[in-house]
Structure 1
C-alpha cells in the first residue's frame, strides 16, 4: 500500500482523468434501473462483455421485474448460462424481481439500504446503481479500483471498504460523481494487474508506485 497522496496531487490526478474522459460511462448495457441492477448482479466473477452478450436478448424480452417473473428461472437460465454461477444468479434475479414487485411497486429503490436487501445485490452493486442511475456520488470499489487506489496512493486502504472511504474523504466533491469510473477505467486499460502501462500513464509523475514499468506494455 502506497502512502496517502496529498491534496494537490489528488486534484491534479483527477483533473487529468477528467480532461482525458470528461463523461466516463459504465460498460454494462442496460435500458433502465431494473436492467442495470440485474446486469451488475450478473457481472460478479464475469466480464462486462460476457454479461452484455448474455443479456442482449434477455433485456429485449424482460426489461421489467414483472416480465422477468413471467419468464421464470429456467427462462433466465437459458439466456445467462454462458455466465459463471448462472444458476444461482438466475435464482437471485427471480427473487429480487419478486421483491421489487411485492415491496417496491415494481420500481428500483434509490436507497442503498433497500438495494442491498435484494438477493444478489451487495454494497458494490448498490453503489453502481446509485451512481449510474440516480446520479449520486456513490463509490463502487472493485478489484481495479482497489489496485489503483493502493498503487497510486490516491485512495489507499486495506480493504474495499477502506478504499471507498478514502475516495469519499480525500477526493474533492467536484470529482466525486465520476471518481470510481475514472479509477476503474484506468485500472482496466492502463494500470493493469500484471503489466501496468506506466510508460503511457497520464499520472505517472504523480503516482507513488515504486515498481513502475517504464516501457509501454
Structure 2
C-alpha cells in the first residue's frame, strides 16, 4: 500500500509538471489584445447632438473648402489630400441626406466645419513622495521629534492630443446682436474621431461613413 502511494505521488507529480508546462505554453501563446492593433482598429467615433433640435427644419448648409487646424489657441487652415477628402465626404453625406450646399458667403441654415485638433501642452508638476519620505523619516518609529526639511522635486511634462472633429452650428436660428459683442452660435452636432492619426484617404471614407451611420437624425425634410 505504501509503495502504491509512492507511485501515485510520483505520477501526480509528473502530471503537475506537465500541466504547469502546458498552461505556461498557453499563456505564452495567448495574444495581447493591444499587440498588432492596426490604426483602423484603434479609431473611436463619438457623436453627440442637441436632442431638442429638429434637424429636418434645415435645408441648406455652408461648408468651406478647407479644414480648420486648431493648435492650442491658434487657428489656421489646410487643404491637403486628406483634408480635401474630409470636406468632400462630409458634403456628399449631407447632400445624400437632403441638404443643399450653398456657395461661400451665401445665407445658409447650417454652418459645417471640419476641424483637426493638434494640441500640445507643457506643465510643471511636483513629486509628492519626496514630502512623504521626509515626513516618515522625521516621525518614524525611532522616537525622533524632528521633521526633515522638505525640498519639493519638480518635473515638467508634455501632453499632446490629435483628433478630428465635424461640427455643425445653427445659422438659421442664430441670435441677432445689435451691439459690439460677437454672437455665440449654438453647436447642434459634434462628431469626434479619436485614435491613430488619419493619414490615408481610405480611412477618411470609413470615418465619415461611420459617423453618419451613427446619426440617422441628420436628414432634411424632403
Q: TM-score, normalised by structure 2?
A: 0.21
> Which structure: greater strand fraction?
2
| Higher Rg | 2
Of structures 1 and 2, the one scoring higher in RCO (CA 8 A, sep 6+) is 2
Q: TM-score, normalised by structure 1?
A: 0.21
> Which structure: greater helix fraction?
1
